[in-house]
Chain A
Amino acid sequence: MASLRELSQKEVLFTGGHRLCAGCPAPIVVKQALLAAPRAPIIVQPTCCLEISSAVFPYTAWKTPYYHNAFENAAAVASGIEAAVKALKKRGKLDAGKDYYIICIGGDGGTYDIGFQALSGMLERGHRVLYICYDNGAYMNTGIQRSGATPYGAWTTTSHVGEAQKGKQQHRKDLAWIAAAHGAYVANASLHNWRDFMRKVEKALNYEGSSFINIQAPCPRGWRFPENMTVEIARLGTETCFYPLFEVEDRGQKWVINYTPKNKLPITEYLKPQGRFAHFFQKDNEYLIEEFQAEVDRRWEHLQRLAKMSAE
């Protein structure tokens, strides 16, 4: 991977002037991903915060080819672009020796939920596309509605906190696990650890097949924390093992944990600064913390078992 000095001299193909919120994780993810690409990639986006804020006609923040089609089909659109690359190379209309990097960047709504089928289709067919999900755990674009990625107990505008119900009733979908079952290169990353994420992007782009990277992307508006804490919240997500850093290679066989905290922090460290979990700390609601912690532990232990098995 390029050194920090080299990276500082590289042109970022995403400009300022976009309309994203202060403290938004999306442009941080984009900048890191673009810097990791060996050359200008083709960006495909489902409808999401980043899309409606970065490409508002007659402007664009993208200095690289960009295509948005609909909400649920970015992976299918990217499959078609990749098929075009192959076809045009075969006919000598494109330089066969040149690599074309195709990167989908979608939110969790367009990835975990409505775009899930198209994503599965793309991964199963093995198109050479990197799909990055900036995982902010809700439909932020439409105003913080629960998604398949929303954590247990979290307040959203479709999982309210009241007498009868305390936030979202289900745990979040483990999408990396599902993606890995397709045999793709899969990684979990977090924007506070740019070096880890960029290494994974570089690896994915050089992978002869589909890849999927889920990156933790704390949303100040939706998670209810001050906008200067985006990176710190991401760090806490990883230090508590709520959002561990790992990668899966060898068609789902090899699981590697990239970072193991020296002292795994209790989940309250992650929950407390976020307004969406404020009710966890009210009287008689301790069970929410316990249930949340238990699920984090279950998944972390499971991941460790997989990593151990892969290493044997």
Chain B
Amino acid sequence: MRKTIGLTGDGAAAEAMRQIDPDVVAAYPITPQTEIVERFAEFVAEGSVRTELVAVESEHSAMSACCGSSAAGARTITCTSSQGLALMHEVLYIAAGNRHPIVLINVNRTLSAPINIHNDQSDSLGSRDCGWIQLYCEGAQEVYDTVIQAVRIAEDPAVLLPVMVCLDGFVVSHNVEPINVLDDQEVKDFVGEFRPAYSLLDTENPVCLGNLTLPEYFFEHKYSQAYALEQSKGVIESVDQEFGAKFGRSYGIVEGYRLEDAEIAIVTLGSMVGTARAVTDELRSQGVKAGVLKIRCYRPFPIDEVVAALKNIKAAAVMEKALSPGAPGPAVFSDVLGALYHKGVHVNLISYVAGLGGRDVPARSIRRVYEHLEKIASSGRVDRILNYLDLRGWQ
């Protein structure tokens, strides 16, 4: 039976995992993800899942064990944050290169140094080139729904790539929201059975995985992997649509909020979307034509959808919680800019790095970003491309 209960983002992720009842979970505790692995360990102890939980000795081993389990044909999920994702970094590439459909729930937290347990998106944005699908969630309900969808996306025979489901640490992971939880059977039916084409455990038909691959083949292997990631967009979309048709909630690849006639827009991902929506509503009531573009699917980057949403905007700001030191601009900003260039569309685009290390991004700050955009829209002139929101001493 469907029911609405109060859950944190971590709790919602754990609940989805309980209902998916994966074959193997290999995970390691790290703030602010720990609640997921703790809750899941309770499910294992009480027998409400039949999962083999491998409580490994590090995140590097977590991702390694996930690769082994997935290669053996088991449905496999893990979760981590920050330093944990960084420690996995080497194996993230291997999971994608070996085409293991692992689902990883990443609770976004900044990276050391200085050490800080709070939210920003440096961890997963820093892993953007690992070859994983990356989906960013705005709130806990979306986390719950996306974890369920992620299993289907990863295991789709046309995809066979790992999927990272990202939620902002504390902001989403530790705040309680009313979550509509599906019936256990509905989730089981939706995710279905994992039927791998190959398994290490098929000793009658042995496979050799992870070969040394020299220059004569390497490039083609990597391209086929990158091609699969590009093509996964269609599957991400169709799984979301099927989920929407069955359960009444869908999110799309990107979501434009009040963008139809907007002149200025904020492009962002994760929990900042919600705050931007609220500020947009307020501005709209004052006659300002503001809008929001939410990027839910960051890898593969939805070039067409982003450009279509922004093409008539006079000025837009990409807000992200990560730095790319020494780069022409931070990651998401650079990707949006690249997408516009692909399609020959010019939009006055600026970047705002915000909320590093858990600094709050309140509505009043987002209002200032819109004010900046209004100035650019009316003057037609970009005064400054790279901006840092609420950074003391920055002018």
Contacts and interface: CB of A to CB of B under 8 A. Distances in A.
A66 to B, nearest CB: 5
Given A69-B64, A79-B54, A40 B71 contact: no
Interface stretch (B1-9, B200-208, B274-282, B311-319): B200-208
Given A69-B91, A87-B52, A117-B58, A77 B65 contact: yes
Contact of B203 (A64, A67, A83): A64
Interface residues of B, number: 44
B60 to A, nearest CB: 6
B200 A42 contact: yes
A91 B66 CA distance: 18
Interface string B40-67: 0000000000111011111011101111
Nearest to B194: A93
B67 A63 contact: no
Given A40-B203, A42-B201, A77-B64, A69 B56 contact: no
Interface string A244-271: 0000000000000000000000000000
A70 B71 contact: no
Nearest to A66: B208
Size category of the A interface is: 35 or more
Nearest to A55: B211
B211 A79 contact: no
A84 B50 CA distance: 12
A241 B347 CA distance: 76
A52 B214 CA distance: 10
B206 A64 contact: yes
A76 B67 CA distance: 9
A65 B64 contact: no
Contact of A76 (B23, B65, B73): B65
B91 A120 contact: no
Given A65-B207, A83-B24, A84-B23, A90 B50 contact: yes
Interface string A65-102: 11111101101111111111111101101100000100
B395 interface: no
Contacts of A17: none
A69 B217 contact: no
B68 interface: yes
A83 B209 CA distance: 18
A218 to B, nearest CB: 24
29 contacts: A39-B203, A51-B212, A56-B213, A57-B212, A58-B211, A63-B206, A64-B203, A65-B206, A66-B206, A67-B209, A67-B210, A68-B209, A68-B211, A69-B91, A70-B90, A75-B61, A76-B61, A76-B65, A77-B71, A80-B24, A80-B76, A83-B52, A83-B69, A84-B74, A87-B50, A90-B52, A117-B58, A117-B60, A125-B55
Given A65-B200, A84-B68, A100-B201, 6 more contacts: A58-B211, A68-B212, A84-B23, A84-B74, A94-B201, A117-B57
Interface of A: 39-42, 44, 51-52, 55-58, 60, 62-70, 72-73, 75-88, 90-91, 93-94, 100, 117-118, 120-121, 124-125
Q: Which 9 A-B pairs have the closest CB atoms?
A: A80-B68, A80-B65, A121-B57, A84-B72, A76-B61, A68-B210, A73-B64, A84-B74, A76-B64
